[in-house]
Structures are given as C-alpha cells and as structure tokens.
Structure 1
Amino acid sequence: MIKLIISDLDGTLLHNSRHIKPEDQAALHNALASGITVSFASGRMHPEIVHVSNRLGLSAHAVSQNGAFVHTKDHEIILQDIFETSLVRQLAQAAEGTSIYTLLNGPDYYVTTVMNEGYAAIEANLLAPLRVMPHAVEALGSELMCCKVSYQGEMEHLLAFKQELLSTHGDKIDAYISDVRCMDVMPRHVSKGAGIQTLLSYSGIRADETICIGDSFNDISMFGTIPNSFAMSTSHPEVQANAAYVVDSVAEAIAWALQTNAGNIDTKAKHT
C-alpha cells in the first residue's frame, strides 16, 4: 500500500523553473483524494517549496535544501542542519576570480556579496529572495547561517570546479550537479535520503509504502532510501541506473502508485 509520494521539483515537477504540467497537477490531487500524503524534496528552500505547493493548491511536507531542512505540511520544522563556519567561509570564496557565480543559502533566502547582470539573471529563476550582503563571508556562522552553497555557470566549468573542491574538501562535502547550470555543495552527512528518513520516522510511514520521483544526481540518495523509486526519462543515464523505474512524467509514477493500491500493477513504467 503506497501512503506517501515524494517528488523532486526542478526537472521533475517544475519545467524551465516554473511550468507545471496540468496532468501532473491533476495526478497529485488524485493521489491526495485517495488518501496518499504528498511531500516535495528539492534543493530549493522551504519558502520556494511552499510557493509551489500554494500554486498547486495543496499542502505537502517539504524536504528542502537537499535534506538540510525538513518541514511538515503544517510548517513544523523537524530537522535542520548547517555548515561548520570555517568550512563554509572557504567555500564562499572558492570561486572568486572565475566565471562561476556563488549563492550562499540561508534558511529562507539566498545571499550574494554583489549584484550584477549575471546574478540578476539567476534571481529571475528563484522563488525566494536574493539578498545582497557585501559582508556575507564575515557574517557566516553568526548573522548568516548557511546550509548549502550553490555554484552556477557553464557545465564544463562546474565539472572542473567540482573536482577542485572535492580534492580539497572531499572528506567534508558532497558536490553534485543539481540542474543544467547549477552545482550544489552540502555537508557530507546531509542529503535528500537522510532528510526523507527523518520524515518517514516522523510520519510512521515505511520506505516500502512510499514512492519517490527525481531527475538529478542529488536524487540518488533518495532512490537509495525508497525502493519504489522513479527517475525521469530525461535524466542522465547514471541517475536512471540508480532508480527502480523510469517514467516520462510525475503523473505516470503516481498512476503506478494508484494502480498498485488498487491491486493492478500492470503499468507502463519501465524497470531499469
């Protein structure tokens, strides 16, 4: 019996940062009407997840910032985690002198030390505020609590930068491509999978009573936690290889859940 649906946002439910397919929205409401609980798990912040939930007209649990925070659908916080101060200060300055843009992630807003055309373009795709804080590096650990650092730029530059960061801080961080022009860096012990385990413990729902849907490398830990895992057919082959099934849409994965609950598991989902 499937009791919980967990969906990633960007590249899974959200397309081009904002568009939600009508069939996916209808499928989520059908799931809720059948008694299934909904949660979103995203690299985005909790206010951004709430924004998406409000657009959909539903209440959902939220695993935000790749598992750094977990909120219930009633906005009760049940998990929060942040970087160690000396480490995040190094990460905040690591891309200086390159073409890569750095966003520091507070609990409810993004931070940059400067504003220019590049950051203005990034801001257009955010659903939470972007604040300019020239003294942000000095404020880390006190005025500014940071749980994720996002780097944005050309993919080839991000991949090279990823290797540089891992060679220096690899025992303390996880770094993965989370979108076409974005790399997220988290404390090593923080992940969507760990955040989801906290949510399952809180809700009393088992992993095998859950499905999860995602499309990127930050979803692999989620796939490792939930046996009924679905990767989007547009995702990287390595991401698909870590999921139990491959689907073309959120609606298709939800159809699998509803048919499973009805005793009919003859679906179109492709097993990896």
Structure 2
Amino acid sequence: MKAIFFDIDGTIYHPEIGISQNTIDEIHRVQKLGHKCFIASGRPTGFISKEVKSIGFDGYVLANGAHIVTEGKTIDSLTLPYDETKKLIEYVESQGYEYILLTTDRCYLKKESPHMYEFYAWCNIDMDSLCNDYDLDEVLKKTIKLEIRYNKKEDSVGLIERLGAFFYEKHDDSLNIEVSNIDTSKGHGIETMLNYYGLDVDDSYCFGDGANDIEMFKTVGHPIAMKNAIPMIYHHASIICEDVLHDGVAKELKRLF
C-alpha cells in the first residue's frame, strides 16, 4: 500500500477548470488498487470545498499540518499559542484590518469584512462553514490558523514584526498573510499520517506547487512538482509533471500506478 498526498490549489484545482474529471478518475483508480489518497493543504476544514470532499479522499492533512483527519476522526491537532494570538488580534483590530479565525470545524469572520468575503467566494471554499456571531476569546482558545487581510503592501512590514511566534506566508497579490503554528508543517502532518497507517517513508508520494509544500517534499519518499510550481520547489522534487491545466496529476498517477 502506498500513500499519495495532494495539495489543492495549483495542483489538483485551478479556478479556470476546477478539478478535472481525469484527475478524479485517476484518484479513484489508484484507491481501487489499494493505495491511500490524502489531501495535504494549507486550507483548514472549513476551506475544503464540497467539490473536493465529494471525491472521497482517505484523509486530510489540513492547516499546514495543524489538523490531521482520517477514518472520520481527528488523529492530531495543534492550536495557535493563545497569548501571542490574542496580542496579534488586538494589533490587527487597532489597524482596521480584516481577519478570519480558523478552527478544526468552523471559520469565524466578522460581517464587516467585505474584502475577505469576496476573496473566499472566489477561492472555492465551503461558504456554509463561515460564522460571524461568536465569542472572540472562546474562539481564540481553539484557533489552529488565522488569515489577515491588510490594506496596502507596506502594511505587511508592521504585521511581520509581530509574527515571531508564528510561521507565516505572505501574499502581496491578495494583501493576505496566512498565520500558522511555528511547530507544525505539512511534513509533520504527513509523518503523523504515515505512522498511523504503519507506512514507510519510501511508500509515500506527494504532488505540490507552492512554498508551503517544501516541508512535504522533504518528508515523502517521492516528491512530485507541478510544472506550474514556484522555482524553489523544483530543487526538492524527484519528478516534475505536467501543469495543473494539462492534467499533470492524472497523467503522473497513470504512469506511476
């Protein structure tokens, strides 16, 4: 039995085409051969679209490894440090930035967040998971990841100065910073999943394209980069497949299995 881990955005999903039927069919074929197929994403549970859920993956490494789910149950989760997160949110609110708090089951976003509502509607997430009526302190105690939308590019400097206790990814194109626990990664989540199923690293594969996939590439036995990946990913890949718009995942699955 092999374990195959798939990133979502830019790997199996593209906003122009969604997830191709060829990719879905190949994932199902590989599962029928007895292999396990998992999502490994920076997205939390609430950001996993119904389109992705309907495929029937064997499990999920979510929020960059902070939440691991298989066989219908959570096998590991890690929250953000409460005190540091509370201080960060106080600063974010003082600057008038929008933000979303992400837990293992819900996404908490204030009504007065027009940019984020518009952005997430475009990102193909499960909008039903968004909650705008909540107790901030209670949610902070169970937050595994958060995202902040700043107002202009230079605002990111002040934010980054306050992120020493966290791992973060900055996206200036969308004025967004993703904030995760510094002690976790997709690689950590994959190790947890492999241990759960008693699988060897050499029996693991992954497909990815972004900076948060690097630890995943360092962890699995057979890292596969999409042709549309960022350049630094190529240095960690053993295989480079076709890009997402040309069914790269489907073609490589057919070749490998």
TM-score by length of 1: 0.80
The equivalent residue for 2:119 is: 122
CA contact (8 A) 1:216 1:236 kept: yes
Partners of 2:44 and 2:62 within 8 A in 1: yes
- Specify whether residues 177 and 246 from structure 1 end up closer, same or farther in structure 2 by C-alpha distance, changes over 3 A only: farther
Match of 1:231 in 2: 225
State the one-letter code of the partner of 1:127.
D
Corresponding residue for residue 33 of structure 1: 32
Contact 2:103 2:144 in 1 (8 A): yes
| DSSP-derived class of the 1:82 partner | coil
Aligned CA distance change for structure 1 residues 260 and 23 (closer, same or farther; 3 Å): closer
Q: Which runs of 5+ in 2 are unaligned?
A: none
- How far does residue 243 in structure 1 lie from its aligned partner after superposition? 2.5
SS at 2:206 equivalent = strand
AA aligned to 2:219 is T
1:64 paired residue among 51, 62, 67: 62
Deviations 1:155-190 (A, max 9, x none): x72x862x54443332x2111247963431111101
What letter matches 1:151 in structure 2? I
Question: CA 1:242/1:140 → structure 2, altered by over 3 Å: closer, same or farther?
Answer: same
Cα separation, 2, equivalents of 1:150 and 1:139: 18
Deviation at 1:6, TM superposition (A): 0.5
Superposition TM-score, scaled by structure 2 size: 0.84
Q: What code does the residue aligned with 2:78 have? A: D
- Which range moves more in the overlay, 247-256 or 83-92? 247-256
- 1:264 maps to none
Superposition deviation, residue 202 in structure 1: 0.2
Alignment length (residue pairs)? 251
1:122-165: CA deviations, max 9, x gaps?
A: 342321522114752x33445xx1010112468x72x862x544
1:243–1:205 distance in 2 versus 1, CA, 3 Å: same
- Please show how residues 68-217 of structure 1 align to structure 2 within 5 Å: 68-72=66-70, 74-96=71-93, 100-124=97-121, 125=123, 126-128=125-127, 129-133=129-133, 135-136=135-136, 138-142=137-141, 145-152=142-149, 157=153, 161=156, 163-170=157-164, 172-177=165-170, 181=174, 182-217=176-211
Q: Which amino acid aligns with 2:24?
A: Q
In the alignment, the residues of structure 1 paired with residue 226 and residue 40 of structure 2 have an alpha-carbon distance, to the nearest angstrom, of 15
Q: Which residue of 2 aligns with 1:244?
A: 238
Write out per-residue CA displacement over residues 97-137 of structure 1, whole angstroms, 9 at most, x where no aligned residue: 6585311112211112343432331342321522114752x
Does the 8 A contact of 1:24 with 1:249 survive in 2? no
Change (3 A) 1:99 1:17: farther
Deviations 1:185-237, CA, capped at 9 Å, x for gaps: 11110111101100000011112111101111111111111131112222221
Q: 1:8 to 1:100 in 2, by over 3 A?
A: farther
> Is contact 1:53-1:60 (8 Å) kept?
no
